[in-house]
Structure 1
Amino acid sequence: MPKNKGKGGKNRRRGKNESEEKRELIFKEDGQEYAQVLRMLGNGRLEATCIDGLKRLCHIRGKMRKKVWVNTGDIILVGLRDYQDEKADVILKYMADEARSLKAYGELPENIRVNETDTFADEDGQNDEYFEFEDISEI
């Protein structure tokens, strides 16, 4: 049998065609809402806080599942369900520059931090717990 002389399988070849082109900014429509990812739950699901103030369990649609990686703190566009208000479907993930432009257009509120993993924290000094270590010179 011949020796394999390649540098990997089809996942390596798949990434070569990927290019960073500028895409058109997509705004929300009826039945859609902006949200920020709170935590990943696994199995294509995540928990997100929508701009209308509700926490929803969101499902990443199959077209995005292994192609677009969603992380904690990302700004996403979710499609609301008519029959389940506590659940939604992830339609689109905004890149960091797109999320900043949404904030500049006034679509996102000012308390949302773009491109940071610490979501909605330290808004009014909630996370002020810290430790002070004194010099130990007597030891």
Structure 2
Amino acid sequence: MRTPRKDKNEVLATVASLLGSKRVTLQCMDGVVRMGRIPGSKNKKMWIREGDIVIANPWEIQDSKADVIWKYTRPQIDWLERKGYLN
């Protein structure tokens, strides 16, 4: 199961809204609201909706922006809740 890697500065986030043009608003678990970008390599493979749980990788230069690198399915979200990753 893919979990956020602390050594790579990854955080769990909830998709708050879709902005269009491969951009979303993320409510991250560290309390920061970030603008998320869906990379081109994941664009057609990962369909994202409001309320989805994702892994975000904040940018080193701008902490208010992040790349969305993973989307969880419903069974994976249930597993995260059982293991205590989600509050």
Which has the higher relative contact order, 1 or 2, with Cα contacts under 8 A spaced 6 or more apart?
Answer: 2
Equivalence for 1:26 = 2
Aligned residue pairs: how many?
Answer: 85
Give how far 1:80 is off.
1.4
Equivalence for 2:36 = 58
How far does the alpha carbon of each residue in 1:10-61 deviate from its partner, in whole angstroms, 9 at most, with x for none?
xxxxxxxxxxxxxxx1011121000000000000000010001111000001
Give how far 1:64 is off.
1.2
Residue 85 (str. 1) matches residue 69 (str. 2): no
Runs (4+) of structure 1 exceeding 6 A deviation are: none
Equivalence for 1:41 = 19
How far does the alpha carbon of each residue in 1:58-94 deviate from its partner, in whole angstroms, 9 at most, with x for none?
0001111012100000000011111111000000000
Q: Which has the higher strand share?
A: 2
Matched to 2:60, the amino acid is D
RMSD (Å) for aligned C-alpha atoms? 0.7
Matched to 2:62, the amino acid is Q
